[in-house]
A and B are shown apart, each in its own frame.
Chain A
Amino acid sequence: MQTLPPQLITARPLLAARNLTRRYGSIVAVDDVSLVVYSGETLGIVGESGSGKSTVLRLLNLEEPADEGQVTLNVPGYGDTNLFSLERFQRRQVQIRHIGIVYQNPHQGLRMRVTSSGNVAERLILAGERRYATLREAARDSLAVSEFPLERMDDLPAKLSGGMQQRVQLAKAIALKPALLLLDEPTTGLDVSVQALVLDTLMRLQRERQIATIVVSHDLGVIRTLADRVMVMRRGRVVEQGLTDQVLDDPQHPYTQQLVHAKL
């Protein structure tokens, strides 16, 4: 691959979220969060448990509406639309075609009573594919890209190891070549060697496809490996953001300093 000289980005960001606020009763889970992600770029979100990072991801995945703020995704047909203002059906279409998500808990992202290949094929079925041969082929291709052992593609996810379940989730997320990939603690709960393998796959994907990725993790190692830029959240607010090396090596905010130095 040819390396290009650094240049000023003049393209529109792929994803732009402005002033997102989400309250649950009196709790403000996300407080005035804005972010932009460009094509091919990876943004990391770090923070302690309860800092609102998963809620941000749920909002960006259009699973629930924000109380305030808007999200735009620069994909054909929806470039200037606030995605929260879409009708239920359209919103689901955007979600299926343009956004892929990997959850920490495979039970959230996979149907445990449906075969692994079926889980991947589901995305294409939802997008309107009605040919069995095509579904089969696409499921196999997508599973191969996420480095899933193909001889087990018709096993139920419940019978797979944690690492393989995450690979099925990843295959499902990228089956339709989405513009935006959301990773919610993708490797938490995996042992260190499997974690490294899954991270390898993710990094290869980043190189090969120009997907904009947002990765949420409390594991700074994962963030350092994957993310170009990082955003530190605390109590629903963004306390610091910048390039990954800059934020993690020279943290300015006291909370970030504490986070970076908190090692066992």
Chain B
Amino acid sequence: MPSLAQLAQPNQDYSYGFLDAFAKRELRRRMLKAIALPGYQVPYASRELPIARGWGTGGLQVTLSLAGPNDTVKVIDQGADDSVNAANLRRFISRMTGVATTTDTNAASLIQSRHRIPEERLNEGQVLVLQVPDPEPLRGVQPDISRARQMHADADYALMWLGLYEQLVRYGRFVQGASYPVIVHQRYLMSPSPIPRWDTPSLHQAAHLTLLSAGREKRLYAVPPYTDVYPIEFADVYFQVEDQSGRVCMITGAGNKFMDELPQTDGTSLYRISDTGYIEKLVKQQRGEAAHVGETYYDEAGQFYHAGFLKSTQGNSARSADFSPRVGQDAD
């Protein structure tokens, strides 16, 4: 009687990286289209993966169809390399493709991320893959997808400014913390996935390629290298990133990076840099070990590396006092 091994198909090297050739061809074609139309959401045939939809299947499919044997992959979740989600995805990717993995942003050729862009500047040739839960930036103002697609076709994005108006009237400032909508290449409105406002400017004229993929919603879109990405704002009230000044990292002592807040029992808070790969390198450097710490998007003083991209905060705080909703309403 033949054994099961004899009856089964012999192992083939054909399907590299879990996805079959057809799936990878589909994804690569869609990615090319997405890169050709910056910010445009390209529908694609999202495949089943051994993780649940909504846990990074979009990003994972892109990573699997791009990764080759010579790649080095870094996976981050909320800035951390060691959270459960990131660790699971990293192990899966390395098992399926055999690629090397790293936590060093500068050493990675392919970075899959959820909710963060690394603090260190990405370089030409690097690819950032962002996992996207909801690709449609117009969802809030137009729940009907087919109408929303018409609005994209007409570049009819005016209603987004109504949302900004409401935020200013009610809170005196823009309060949207993540997924802050941006206009890509002066054409398409794009949700940059739930990265904090802090990371949104990093997409502007970036040297690297960003691919954003939503596995559940079956849409992917891209920001090619050196593309204009502008957050939406008023002509007289500007987009601002989260204020990180005065926060000092409890591990490295560094400031002006995106911090995680750790509330303490006595009511105070400690702060820690959210990008764990960056902490790792800073700590090594402080111990005197060899570590190459790359240039960051924001310098020690909190200045963004494209001078003038973020407009002055002083003017804006005075402005928000003028327009604050409940104070001095009758006077203004």
Contacts and interface: CB of A to CB of B under 8 A. Distances in A.
Contact of B150 (A88, A114, A126, A128): A88
A151 interface: yes
Interface residues of A, number: 21
Interface in B302-325: 323, 325
Interface stretch (B105-113, B151-159, B182-190, B288-296): B151-159
A114 B250 CA distance: 42
Contacts of B234: 130-132
A44 interface: no
B169 A117 contact: yes
A135 B235 contact: no
Contact of A125 (B162, B329, B330): B162
B92 interface: no
Interface in A93-149: 114-115, 117-118, 121-122, 125-126, 128, 130-133, 135-136
Contact of B166 (A114, A131, A136): A114
B50 to A, nearest CB: 40
Contact of A154 (B156, B162, B169, B237): B169
B236 A88 contact: no
A203 B168 CA distance: 34
A115 B166 CA distance: 7
A130 B162 contact: no
Given A89-B154, A151-B329, A130 B169 contact: no
B29 interface: no
Contacts of A131: 234-236
B165 interface: yes
B244 to A, nearest CB: 25
Given A88-B150, A151-B329, A154-B325, A126 B168 contact: no
Question: At the interface, is chain B mostly helix, strand, loop or mixed?
Answer: helix
A126 B323 contact: no
Interface in A132-189: 132-133, 135-136, 150-151, 154
A114 B165 CA distance: 10
Contacts of A135: 165
Nearest to A135: B165
A114 B236 contact: no
B170 interface: yes
Given A88-B154, A133-B236, A122 B159 contact: yes
A115 B169 contact: yes
Nearest to A137: B332
Contacts of B158: 125-126, 128
Pick from B168, B234, B330 the residue with the most CB of A within 10 Å.
B234
B236 A132 contact: yes
A125 B165 CA distance: 9
A61 to B, nearest CB: 18
A130 B170 CA distance: 18
A133 B156 CA distance: 22
A132 B236 CA distance: 6
B226 interface: no
Given A125-B158, A131-B236, A133-B236, A118 B169 contact: yes
Given A88-B154, A89-B156, A118-B162, A132 B237 contact: yes
Nearest to A115: B169
Interface string B230-267: 00001111000000000000000000000000000000
Interface of A: 88-89, 92, 114-115, 117-118, 121-122, 125-126, 128, 130-133, 135-136, 150-151, 154
